[in-house]
Structures are given as C-alpha cells and as structure tokens.
Structure 1
Amino acid sequence: MCAHYESPRDKALLKKHFAINLPSELAKRDVWPGYQSTFIRRHENADVGDDAVPPREALLGSFGLIPHWSKDDKIARHTYNARSETVAEKPSFRDAWQRAQHCIIPAQAIFEPDWRSGKAVPTRITLANGEPMGLAGLWARWRSPAGETVHSFTMLTINADEHPFMRNFHKPQDEKRSVVILPPDLYDDWLQAGPGESGVFLRAWAADELQAL
C-alpha cells in the first residue's frame, strides 16, 4: 500500500509529460493521506465538440477518496488506496468505480518500507528513466457540511507477491501490493475507458524499469 508519495514540482515537466494546464496552486512535494495534491481527469466538457476545451484537466483534491455519503473528510485517512480485487464492492469506492471516474495521479516517486534487513527502511522508488509516473486512480466529488465542493482521489493497487521488485517491500508476512503505473500512451485510453474496460489497465510495471534509492 502506498501512503506517501512525492508530487512533481517542475511545472514545465508536468505540462510537457501530462499535457495539462496546471492548477494555480501546486501540491506539496511530500503527500500523505488527507493532503491536497494534483490529480488529472478527463475534462468534464471534453465531449462537447469545442476545440478550445482540453481533453484533460488537472485539479487539486484530497489524497484519500471521500465518497458522497461521508459526513466528514476524515475518511480520507483510510481511503488513499483501493484494492483492485474489491474496489467494485467496497462502499467507499464502488460508485466511483461503477461510474468509471478514472484519474491519473502524477508522482515523481513513491515510498515503501523495505523490511529485508529486519527493520523498516523507508525507500524512495522511481522510474529508472527519471520520468514522472502517472498512477491509475479514481476521483470523487463531495459536498461538505458547509456546502463546499471537495474533490478527492485514491490510488488503485494490485497484488505484487510475485513481482520481482515490489515483493521486496512491506513486512515479510504481509501481502505485497503495488500501485498501477500507466504507460503515457495509454493516459487518454484510461481516462476514457468505461466501467467494463477498467480492469485491463491494472497491470504490473516491468521490474527492470523501476529503481530504489
């Protein structure tokens, strides 16, 4: 499970890699559950036929999905990762999954604990080529008790027990999990995919294209 990641801070890199117009406020570098950070979704007016409307838009939202029925935003501390095996059933995630509210989460690195020494060693994981990651996620819109519209998002995860790289993290007795890194040429496919097409994108990234620092 990924509870800590590093958000890219280079505006030019973000705009070039993800083809987005950035929010006026950039996310903090280190992101934890409940923090505000950047996520990318298909623009809500992308299908109106106006060439002036970009296909993608970047928004700030809470890291940790807040379902529409939640009474407050504290649930975000527990909903930052969604297991692919149960996402369609869990009350916190099923509406966003059934509606295919797909998003991409820009990340320069993720952090996981390496337990091979017998102690938890926080480890920074990046792509070996130095490019930012586009992580597969789901987004939601919540109306706070004060009437404010709040966006939020969660990272989708898959089993990594047999993954040559990701199986090295977390406690030996725990199930190994991994975020889903999307190939850049599939960003728009993911954002446009319907509910029945979501699962085909949830695949492991090649171990030799990841590095631990």
Structure 2
Amino acid sequence: MQQKDAIPKVEKRFKAIVRQPESFLQADIINAFEHKCSPIILNTNPKEIVTNFQWGLIPNWAKDTSIQQQTINARMETVTEKPSFSNITHQRCLVIATAFYEWRWLDDKGKSKQKYIIYGEEELFAMAGLYSFWRNPADGEPKNSFTILTTEANETMAYVHNHKKRMPVVLKKEDESAWLDTQNKIEAFSFPYSANLLAFPV
C-alpha cells in the first residue's frame, strides 16, 4: 500500500482517525532496533491512531534510552513481574501491522538462517502491546514508547521460530477491544494465535 492509500484503509479497519498523517510510518521492513515510531492505538483513546510512539519501551524510571534494546518485546508469562513492565500493565495498546518477519534457524547455532514473512487472515491486524511515557532526566525531552507482547508459538510459528518458539500476541479482531479493556486480565490473552497465519520464505 502507498501511504495515501494506507491511511484510509487503516482508519476504516480500526474505526479510528490518524492524528498526524504526515508522520504515519509506512515501510516494507521496520527494524525494531532502529526504534522508529509506529502507528498504535492507546486504550485511553481507541478512536485515535497515534504515530509518535517508538518501538522499544522506556520505563518511566529509566536514566537513558539504552534499555530499549532489551524491551522490544515482553513475555506474556512474566510481564507482571518484570520491573520494566509491571507498573504499566494497565497501559495497553494495539500495534498495527500488515505482516511481521521472523527467522528460522537452519543449523543448531543459528549461523545459517532463513527469513520468513508472516501474514494474518486480514490485510491489517493488531498485536497486543504496552506503552510508556518517559522524560529524559538530562534535558527534559519527552519520549513515548511501546513494547509488543509475546507468547508461546502456534504450529506455524513453532516451525518458523524454531529456536525459541515464540510469537507476538496477534489479536483476533474480536479480541482487540477486550485487550484495551483493563478489566480483562492479561493472562486471558496468553494464547497462541488460533486463526490461520501464512508464512513465506523471503
């Protein structure tokens, strides 16, 4: 999708408005470790798609941004225990995507790998995330950030991600609103994605 075509499709799919269309990230490949801002929906305003949150969560107590290298993902099973995430489990978001990438190890040590692209059942889908607000103690500059929850891999993803056998919590369309509702326990969403995922080597 070109950006001019993507925004109306995203808005229609999620019944929400893109707040700042000029900064809406549209790219074939997004490297998590570049910490780019990606479109997400916050539970505090599900009718709006925000574009100023970096991938790689910075806890509000962090001294600098270096922790982002370790907070790209959060394990669903331990998210309520880890200091980086335990006090923000009520700050939930939907991370919007058309696909995601994962690597299959072709040998025991992962020296040889095959990259796969994974699609959901629809052109657009959402992954479960948590978000944070942080202010740099050195200069007062604010930064918004998020992490993506992961869970046990389903059959397709266990084949692709054959080393750790993990996958993002890809939400079923009917579960998206439930994820944003903090009255629902996080553990209720700790399931491998039961609908079809399509994986292709690239």
Structural RMSD (CA) = 2.2
Which stretch shifts more, 76-85 or 21-30? 21-30
Residue 103 (structure 2) aligns with: 113
- Shift of residue 168, structure 1, vs aligned partner: 1.2
Instruction: Give the one of 60, 67, 72 matched to 1:75.
Output: 67
Aligned equivalent of 2:41: 40
Unaligned runs of at least 5 residues, structure 1:
1-6, 45-54
One-letter amino acid matched to 2:93: C
Taking the TM superposition and a 5 Å limit, the aligned residue runs for 1:1-213 are 9=3, 10-24=6-20, 25-29=23-27, 30-31=29-30, 32-33=32-33, 34-43=35-44, 55-59=46-50, 60-97=52-89, 100-116=90-106, 119-127=112-120, 129-144=121-136, 145-160=138-153, 163-170=154-161, 172=162, 174-194=163-183, 197-206=185-194, 209-213=196-200
Aligned partners of 2:151 and 2:167 also within 8 Å: yes
- C-alpha displacement at 1:126, in angstroms? 0.4
What is the letter of the counterpart of residue 201 of structure 1?
F
Mapped contact 1:8–1:132 kept (Cα < 8 A): no
Q: State the 1:117 CA deviation.
A: 7.4
Rounded to whole Å, the distance in 1 between the matches of 2:47 and 2:187 is 21
Letter in 1 for 2:7: K
Residues matched between the structures, number: 188
Shift, 1:187, TM fit: 1.7
> TM-score of the superposition, structure 1-length normalised?
0.80
CA displacement at 1:130 relative to structure 2: 3.9
Runs (5+) with no aligned partner, structure 2: none
Shift of 1:8: 9.1
CA contact under 8 A between 2:156 and 2:199: conserved in structure 1? no
Identity over the aligned pairs, expressed in percent? 31
SS at match of 1:189: helix
**Counterpart residue identity of residue 166, structure 2:** R
- 1:65–1:153 contact (8 Å) kept in structure 2: yes
